[in-house]
A = this chain, B = another copy of it.
Amino acid sequence: MIDKKNMKILKILQEKARIPNAEVSRQVGLAPSAVLERIRKMENQGIIDGYEVRLNPERFSRKQVAFIEIMPQPDAHIPDLGEKLAAIADILEVHYTAGNDGFLLKVRTTDTETLGEMLQKKITTIDEVLSTRTITVLSTIKETSRITID
């Protein structure tokens, strides 16, 4: 299902998702209709999940990246807590982690001040939250959601 031609199509779309189908077909050497058929099929099969625009965080005052480890209360209902965290604005990722049975969040805020506000007003006020540990990012060398295509 994910043969060489589909891999080639996906690699092209990973670079530049918003290009005409006809352009893709030229690069892979198939008729446009064949490429369209393949892409539609991959969308329906859930291989392709969607298409996103990549915005420059600086231009939207979301320069500050931080990761927050959440230690839940011993009696906390984990799925509930996960949902509550996921619903907070500027929390981009919520992962349930092994080891300490806690959550790891990725957040994007304007600066460390707004990060602090978020912690105090939105996170530590949740009942199920016992404590937190914040890892502030000083600089980002690499940041992509592009997975490796074998």
Question: How many copies of the chain does the oligomer comprise?
Answer: 2
Is A145 in the interface zone, CB < 8 Å from B? yes
Question: Contact at A13–B53, with CB atoms within 8 Å?
Answer: yes
* Bitwise interface map of A from 68 to 85 toward B, beta carbon under 8 Å scored 1, else 0: 010000000000001101
Question: Contact at B54–A85, with CB atoms within 8 Å?
Answer: no
Question: Contact at B53–A54, with CB atoms within 8 Å?
Answer: no
Q: Which residues of B contact A51 (CB under 8 A)?
A: 16-18, 51-54
Q: Which residues of B contact A2 (CB under 8 A)?
A: 59-60
- Least distance between A69 CB and chain B CB atoms (Å): 8
Question: 5 closest pairs, A vs B, by CB?
Answer: A18-B51, A17-B51, A86-B142, A13-B53, A94-B141
Q: List 29 A–B pairs whose Cβ atoms lie within 8 Å, in order of A's numbering.
A: A2-B60, A14-B55, A17-B18, A17-B52, A18-B18, A18-B51, A47-B56, A48-B55, A51-B53, A52-B145, A52-B146, A54-B145, A55-B149, A60-B147, A60-B149, A67-B97, A69-B135, A85-B142, A89-B148, A90-B148, A91-B142, A92-B143, A92-B145, A93-B144, A95-B139, A95-B143, A96-B137, A97-B138, A108-B148
